[in-house]
Structure formats: C-alpha cells, structure tokens
Amino acid sequence: MKEQFRNDTPINYEVVSRQIDEMNLASVGKASIREIKRLVDNIEQASGEKYIRMEMGIPGMKPSSIGTEAEIEALRNGVAAIYPDIDGIPELKKQISRFVKNFMDIDVKPEACIPTVGSMQGSFAAFLTLSRMYPEKDTTLFIDPGFPVHKQQHKVLGQKYESFDVYAYRGEKLREKLESYFKKGNIHSVLYSNPNNPSWICFTDEELQIIGELANQYNVVICEDLAYFGMDFRKDYSQPGIPPFQPTVAKYTDNYILLISSSKAFSYAGQRIGMMVVSNKLFIRRAPGLPQYYNCDNFGRAMIFGTVYALSSGTAHSAQYALAAMLKAANDGKFNFIEEVKVYGEKAKIMKKLFTDAGFHIVYDTDGEEPIADGFYFTISYPGLTGEELIEELIFYGISAISLAITGSERTEGLRACVSLVKPSQFPDLESRLKKFSLHHAV
Ligand SMILES: Cc1ncc(COP(=O)(O)O)c(C=O)c1O
C-alpha cells in the first residue's frame, strides 16, 4: 500500500500491522485458513472492528429441527449405550438409497449406502481401500482446484497423488487431459468436488460423460465429492423424483463412489455424519490386491468390515437417526432442504456484484457457455496483484479470504471468498471498504 494511504484504511493501519507482527507469520498471503482466522480474530479484538469474514467454509445456518428432534429422541431411547452396525442402521441405509434415487435418479441398493463420520472419513476410507485393489494402480488423480484436506489425507496415509487445474481443460479438452494420466496405468481413482470448492464451477453433462466414459475404458473409480449437494441454484433440484436431478458421473459409469456430506446441504456439520454411496457393481467387485490387507477380495466387504471397522467401527448412533429423519422427510416431499440453503446463493449474487463494481474479476467464471452459479464460494482477483499481495492488502480493509494457491489452482492471482459467515447487514460496510480499496489501488 502506498504510504500516503496508511492513515486512511478502514481498519487502523498500526493495529493491523502490530497483530501481523505478533503472529510471526512468514507471510499473510501464504498463511493457512486457520492462521488467517486466528489473525483476524486477534485484529477484531484489538481494533473493536468487525471484518467481512470470508476465509472459512463453515455453514452459517441452523439445522432443521427434524434432525435434532430425531437425534434427541434417539438419545432418550438409550442408543448412546449401544454399538451401531458398522455399515449403518437399516433405516438410514434405506433412506440414503431412496435419496439418491429421488434426487439423482440412480439405483443403489441400501447395502451399498454407508454412513461415515463426515464425508471426510468417507474419502479417507475410499482412498485407503481403492489404493489396495490393484498393485500397479497406486495413485489418486485430483481434478483441481480442490479441498486441501484430501491431499493431507494422502500425506498422512503415505499415498501418492497427481493433480491438475481444470481451468484450461473444460469441455472436450478434458478428455485428452484425463487420458494423458489414465494411459500411464497407475491411477486407481479420481476425486473432484461438484459444485467445486473453491471455485464453484459445476461440471456440465458433457464433462461428466467424458469422465464416466474414461473411467469405464481405463478401469478407474470416480470419487464424486458432493459436499454441496443440490446447491447449484441455477436449477431446481429440490423436488423428489422430478427432474432436473443433481448431475452425476453415476449416469455414465458404474465405477463410482459418491461422497455426500450432510454438513452444508443439511447444516449438520457438528455431528460429523456423511454418506458413502458405492455403485452396486463396485460393491461386489473382486480385486486381486485386497486379500493382502483384508480377509476377502470383495470391495464392499473390505470397505465395511476392513476399513470402516478399523477406522471408527461405524458412525455415531444418534446422528444416524437425525440424518435418517431428514432424508425421509426430503424423500417424502415434506422437507425442502435446498430451499433452506438458497440464501447462500442470494448473498453470493450481491457480494459478487459489489466486488466486480469495485474493479475485481471473478476468476473461475463459466461452465461451458453459462456464467457460474451463485453459491457458497466465489473466486476473485484484482488487476496487477497476485493472490498473496491481494490478501496482504485486503486485511487492512477489513476483508478476509484465502489464497487459491493452497487449493491446487494455477490461478495464483486468485482468492477464494466464502459467503456463509457474512451477514446481509454487513453489505454496506463491504461496499464502502471495497470502494476505498479501489480508490487506493487505481488500475
Ligand atoms: C469439497 C469438500 N469436501 C468435503 C468436505 C467435508 O465434509 P464433511 O464435513 O462432511 O466431512 C468439505 C467441507 O468443507 C468440502 O468443502
């Protein structure tokens, strides 16, 4: 920032600088999500000013009472004392199977629908088991940008991964790019999130078809991370059994595992419950590498009685009743879970306009010909600044976000902004702070 503007920043320049020094960070621009959070907490306390907090992707909504009441009742009935089945209570398995039929139009047997301790445990269990099916296939491919914790899971497991930024490979270009990895024969699975954290791009049906076809051709399992299930608000995916349905690669291949989180779509992050949905065919697949680690060569059995048993022996009993009740109500058309979270999209629409009016650009901006949806996240850049520089500047203007660089994105000029914690009552502050920012950073 130019020296002449230092006495004109929305948050006192000296206070912010002192807090940055006290945190002893090598660079604010390279800080992790949790470090940025701590820094902003400290500045808010020292300055008495509230930030526009866009650094963390935490749900900002109350869960439906359908879930909490069912969970309380289950606890009253004493389920806390009893081990749940490793692969989930029958009612939840049935409702997950109904849910994927009603909202994705796919057929999966209840036995292949497994609750997990958050979608995070689902991906951990998936990577662990998938990497052991075929000795020659020892590597995961990430279609980035992505959620950094999945890569951390690989580091913790000592497993290999490769990745590429999909920005330059949308549409038909995706085929050749994916094939260049699959041809080598070492890829056991692919993971991407859709809608995507951090960029909020959504794959088109053409792209999902390409991914599915190549999964069949090269025997690669697709792990589709649906942490933001149904939250592409450009289409109405909220009516059970009625199209349009949440798009999925499962329409084009039987080589899939769906990871469906309850954290965002059902605002149930705190109870750590998610769903792993394995295709019927993959569930009964036999693979030569499995017996070295499990007492069978069958994928579904290895997953449940090997991996999930060893990790946590199932998922908290009471939370399963909560999720079963919410899914049942959604399946019966009595609970429009998507309507509950639409407010994220409404906020994003306004916030994106405030940013672009102030001279910012949306980095990942289209799906095919269409502008990307308004949802939980969006990506921004400012002419002439790298992502790192942009965070380092914005922090003096009472605005926080994270750098795209930590998500595997090659768009190093970009930041990820999350709308969930920003209140509409803060929009006037956001607008005036952005105006001041662009005044101080004339292009
Ligand atoms: C893309 C993505 N996958 C997975 C998760 C984790 O989901 P869960 O809370 O169900 O473990 C998140 C949470 O932010 C996410 O953004």
CB of 142 shorter than 6 A to ligand 1: no
Q: Residues 267, 269, 271, 273: is their CA dihedral positive or negative?
A: positive
**Closest Cα to atom 13 of ligand 1:** 227
The preferred substitution site among 261, 273, 323, 407 for testing ligand 1, maximizing ligand atoms within 8 Å of CB, is: 261
Q: Please give the C-alpha separations between residue 141 and each of 180, 191, 280, 406, in angstroms, as whole numbers.
A: 11, 6, 23, 17
CB of 197 shorter than 6 A to ligand 1: yes
Token pair 């999909």 is found at: 166
Q: Which two tokens stand for residue 292?
A: 């070295």
Domains and CATH numbers, the chain: 3-49+342-440 (3.90.1150.100), 65-337 (3.40.640.10)
User: What distance in Å separates the CA atoms of residue 332 and residue 241, rounded to the nearest whole number?
Assistant: 10
* pTM assigned to the model: 0.95
What is the crossing angle of helices 317-331 and 90-104, to 10°? 40
**Closest Cα to atom 16 of ligand 1:** 197
CB of 1 shorter than 6 A to ligand 1: no
Q: Report CA(260)–ligand 1 centroid distance (Å).
A: 9
pLDDT, tens digit only, all 443 positions of the chain: 889 999 999 999 999 999 999 999 888 888 888 899 999 999 999 999 999 999 988 887 899 999 999 999 999 999 999 999 999 999 999 999 999 999 999 999 999 999 999 999 999 999 999 999 999 999 999 999 999 999 999 999 999 999 999 999 999 999 999 999 999 999 999 999 999 999 999 999 999 999 999 999 999 999 999 999 999 999 999 999 999 999 999 999 999 999 999 999 999 999 999 999 999 999 999 999 999 999 999 999 999 999 999 999 999 999 999 999 999 999 999 999 999 899 999 999 999 999 999 999 999 999 989 999 999 999 999 999 999 999 999 999 999 999 998 899 999 899 999 999 999 999 999 999 999 999 999 98
Q: Report CA(307)–ligand 1 centroid distance (Å).
A: 20
Return left, alpha or beta for 372; rule: phi > 0 is left, psi -120 to 50 is alpha, else beta. beta
User: Could you write out the DSSP letters of every residue in 217-254?
Assistant: HHT-EEEEEETTTT--TTS---STTSSS----GGGT-S
Q: Report CA(346)–ligand 1 centroid distance (Å).
A: 21
Q: Report CA(113)–ligand 1 centroid distance (Å).
A: 18
- Alpha-carbon radius of gyration of the chain: 22
Q: Report CA(263)–ligand 1 centroid distance (Å).
A: 7
CB of 421 shorter than 6 A to ligand 1: no
